[in-house]
Structure 1
């Protein structure tokens, strides 16, 4: 085997690995990093808005956020507005003290939808009264089951899509092993 082919056989796996490592962030789904009110917090004063901060910029036009309170009432007063990685939804005056759940669905930079919930408890009644608008049926909790709503952000495996990175790593290993085998075979 010529010296050029040997160098190529050694360099190719390293180049592929570098490409894979550089592209890995593009495969990641966005994650909820923080919220206001914070997840599972006890809130004494009724908030006038809810903010969600994600690990990447989120398009507000592709986001759906609802805030359900006791009895399944939706307190969102309008669509989400965005500022980079943070989405904010205005709220109507909250009503009864009790469990509230922020339910969100956003789209990652890679095009995959990501959804989850942020529960919080209002410890003192808010200034509003229960409105007649029920929470949407798209996974938001109802009065019968506020504690059974999912409380975590799904991972890539949860949304039905298999992660790509194991296949890329396997391809790099197979190509690297083939290069090593070719080098050893050419020496004998």
Structure 2
């Protein structure tokens, strides 16, 4: 294959390579990098909740509750770039707790998650949550939640890129069909 069809396929390959290079950063979604407390940590007390993301975030909501679902007072979340800070207003008694958080990432996608932890104070006995016969609610791990698409489908740019590749392929096929020798026929 020489001439214009070969150049068309070469151009198509180059276009796909360029799209692939620029699409790679778009595949990376914002995620939670670290937190204080860390997931499943055992701490002696907690004065401040700190969440660090890999990119700037907006509109944080951070709640603190115990295993029975009782909410504990906390301050208003503050954002500094990729970090969210929330003061814990009162000392926490010994027991199991969860930090529930939700932010809007730099690309506009909501991110949410939960961070379970335990407070074991040397001065207070460990409190236990009442036993319930109801099944525990299922929880999605933070990393899985952060990486799933909200609508469950592919991002719009992916469909545009696939449509471009399909149109380029159809154009190359049409060029080949028109230039084929008249004596050739499909068998």
* Pair in the same fold by TM > 0.5: yes
Q: Unmatched 5+ residue regions in structure 1?
A: 128-141
Whether the 8 Å contact between 1:53 and 1:85 is mirrored in structure 2 is yes
Question: Which residue, 159, 169, 172 being the options, matches 1:177?
Answer: 169
Distance, in Å, in 2 between the alignment partners of 1:29 and 1:5 is 38
Q: Is this contact kept in 2: 1:106–1:115, CA < 8 A?
A: yes
Matches for 1:6-25 after TM superposition, within 5 Å: 7-25=7-25
Corresponding position: 1:163 with 2:127: no
1:46 corresponds in structure 2 to 45
Structure 2 stretches of 5 or more lacking a match? Answer: 125-129, 182-187
Which gives a bigger RCO, structure 1 or 2 (Cα 8 Å, sep 6+)? 1
Is 1:96–1:124's contact at 8 Å kept on the other side of the alignment? yes
User: How far apart, in 2, do the equivalents of 1:143 and 1:160 lie?
Assistant: 36
1:80-128 C-alpha deviation (Å, 9 max, x unpaired): 111211111110233321211111111122222111111111122788x
Moved more, 90-99 or 45-54: 90-99
The TM-score with structure 2 as length reference comes to 0.70
Structure number with larger C-alpha Rg? 2
Q: Summarize the alignment of residues 22-171 of structure 1 with structure 2, pairs less than 5 Å apart.
A: 22-26=22-26, 28-43=28-43, 45-59=44-58, 62-124=59-121, 148=137, 150-153=139-142, 154-155=145-146, 157=148, 159-164=150-155, 166-168=158-160, 170-171=162-163
RMSD: 3.5
Number of positions where the alignment pairs a residue of Structure 1 with one of Structure 2: 170
